[in-house]
Amino acid sequence: MNKFIRVDMTMLKVSVEDVPEKYRGLGGRGLTSNFVNDEVKPTCHPLGRNNKLIFAPGLLSGTSAPNSGRLSVGGKSPLTGTIKECNTGGVVSQQMAKMGIKALVIEGMPSDDRFYIIKVDMNGVTIDEAPEEILGGCGNYKAIEILSKKYGGKVGIGLAGPAGEYRLPSANISFKDPDGNIRSAGRGGLGAVLGSKKVKAVVFDDTGAEKVPLADPEKFRAASKIFAKALMDHPVAGQGLAAYGTDVLVNILNEAGGLPSYNFTRGRIDHADNICGETLNETITERGGEGKVSHGCHQGCIIRCSQWYADKKGKYITSGFEYETIWGLGADAGIKDLDVIAYIDREMDDIGVDSIETAVAVATAMDGGLLPWGDGEAVLNAVKEIRTPTPLGRILGSGCAVVGKACGLYRVPVVKDQAIPAYDPRSVKGIGLTYATTPMGADHTAGYCISGNILKVGADLDPLKKDGQIEYARAMQVGTAAIDSSGLCLFVYFGVADNPGGYQAMIDMLNAQYGLSLTAADLDKLGESVLKAELDFNRRAGFSNAHDRLPEFMEYEALPPHNAVWDFDPEEIDQVLSF
């Protein structure tokens, strides 16, 4: 990958440069976070002209490496005020890599109120005025259909939905997947940054692109084969996720007493069978039609944890129906009807808001009296108001912290103003350390300690005890930063954590592609360097260790059924990322 593209939206000009030397060995999150730290003013307003947005494929993207189609998007977050990297599937990462594009940077903002389309193909980059029909409340599904007709059915698309146009802090960037449906770079509000640049969509057409070059094709194929086997042989990566999706975790966390429910007041619910992965599987199977139990979010995915969820007549409703979304609406907000949850999920995808942030905001709004507990129809109608947006829509679309302030609540489950996801840190202490210390705000994917705390993959730690959690949370964040830089899906961890041969195969693929001799120690150094860049940005933006804390109520409100509290002191928390 030898192209570094900059799009200046102030002047509506494009420059294509050689990749700067310091970025040549980086990809994915490693590139986005270092670039943001280097070029974005840490104290800038995230929606102002000094913020920048960068799209970067991972180091292995565009190759035949299994599960290597992930894209990183970086910038300063309007939700948290911190550095942000969002990771997504779809087709854009592989297309960019095949086109030889190391990164696409969007900077500045136009002086007029028109929205634009950035089109990238093998002949160069153009900036077109966005069609009026995809603006002003047009949903993402319809916008993708219109843009695919205009630019070609096989193009990759990343776009700001209505929430992004209105620059709401929970707005995501939605990406077209191989079947024309939606995947999201969800957390932190980067869709609002895209909207602030007056960019409605970025379109990639890789027609005429060559294969990604490999320094040693034979060794790459051999390593890829070993890596694929490691994934398929693991019961989680090779079986559980394909059968039940990520929603397999509902019953597991419910049994563990770590399923945050009714705005984080309980760790277990009575209606888990209504919303669990087993029920999801049975429902899709029984209804048939357009439903699919297993589906890949990008080409080359062999884990296939996604699915198509259909209605009672077999008509498609939504895909990528994730555990965190089902948890947030089904357990945290108490909605017991999986169909209603699916329709809300579709609406959030169509509007372009982070489904985790919005679901937790909904539960907080219920706690504050804005919505009735467990009323799925009321939630669906409220979420639809984000599209306009009405005052209620603006409040919900601004995220959980804003909802908590509007309702005068102290039980507001956020870290650095980002909603805490589907694992209660009082009963799963390792993930609590990740929430507290990751530079991104509360984010389970930044260091998925559920693996060792609950699933017993890669480690075996008692989730209710503090023993070993500091070291484990650090190791998981370092390893995750390296995987996010590779373009591999986070779930490959399940296949390599306890399989030295599979882990070495991952390293061997990188070496065979680039003609290198990396070791496991080098990957650790890469992960640490990414985290150091992110921490440096945050410190210069005004963040300190004092911001690396969980909500205070978790220290004194015991969570049933274990009656656990958050009991790490500040000095212990500060050890996690003390490089």
Q: What are the domain boundaries of the chain?
A: 3-204, 214-244+425-579, 246-252+259-424
HSE-up of residue 200 (Cα within 13 Å, Cβ side): 24
- Which stretches in the chain have pLDDT values below 70? none
Q: Coil, strand or helix: which one is 290? A: coil
State the pLDDT at residue 296.
84
State the pLDDT at residue 1.
72
Residue 484 makes CB contacts below 8 A (sequence gap 6+) with 28, 29, 30, 58, 70, 72, 85, 87, 490, 530
CA 380 to each of CA 331, 346, 348, 423: distance values in angstroms, whole numbers, following the listed order? 16, 10, 9, 24
Q: Coil, strand or helix: which one is 135? A: coil
Distance of CA 300 to the CA centre of its chain: 19
State the pLDDT at residue 300.
84
CA 70 to each of CA 97, 352, 411, 473: distance values in angstroms, whole numbers, following the listed order? 11, 19, 35, 23
Residues forming a β-bridge with 184? 174
Torsional sign, CA 31, 34, 38, 42: positive
Q: Tell me which H or E stretch contains 345.
A: helix 338-351
State the pLDDT at residue 297.
81
Q: Which two tokens stand for residue 202?
A: 């970025």
DSSP-H helix ranges across 159-270: 162-165, 190-196, 217-233, 241-244, 249-256
Pick the CATH number of 3-204 from 3.60.9.10, 3.40.30.10, 3.30.420.40, 3.30.70.100: 3.60.9.10
Contact 537, 252 (CB under 8 A): no
Residue 477 makes CB contacts below 8 A (sequence gap 6+) with 434, 437, 438, 446, 447, 527, 531, 576, 577
State the pLDDT at residue 535.
98
Tell me whether residue 34 is exposed, middle or buried, using C-beta atoms within 10 angstroms of its C-beta: 0 to 12, 13 to 18, 19 or more.
buried
Diameter over CA atoms, the chain:
62
State the pLDDT at residue 39.
98
Preceding peptide of 561 cis, ω within 30°: yes
Residue 15 makes CB contacts below 8 A (sequence gap 6+) with 5, 6, 8
CA 532 to each of CA 33, 207, 406, 438: distance values in angstroms, whole numbers, following the listed order? 10, 38, 35, 11
Q: Left, alpha or beta for 195 (phi > 0: left; psi -120 to 50: alpha)? A: alpha
CA dihedral 6→4→493→323, nearest 10 degrees, is 20
Residue 422 makes CB contacts below 8 A (sequence gap 6+) with 249, 253, 259, 260, 323, 324, 327, 328, 331, 332, 356, 444
Q: Which amino acid is at 148?
A: S
Whether the pTM exceeds 0.85: the reply is yes
Contact 472, 484 (CB under 8 A): no
The CA distance from 52 to 75, in Å, is: 6
CA 409 to each of CA 11, 128, 218, 307, 370: distance values in angstroms, whole numbers, following the listed order? 45, 45, 60, 36, 12
Contact 492, 231 (CB under 8 A): yes
Determine the CATH number of domain 214-244+425-579: 1.10.599.10
Is domain 246-252+259-424 given the CATH code 1.10.150.20 in the classification? no
CA angle 356, 358, 362 (to 5 degrees): 115
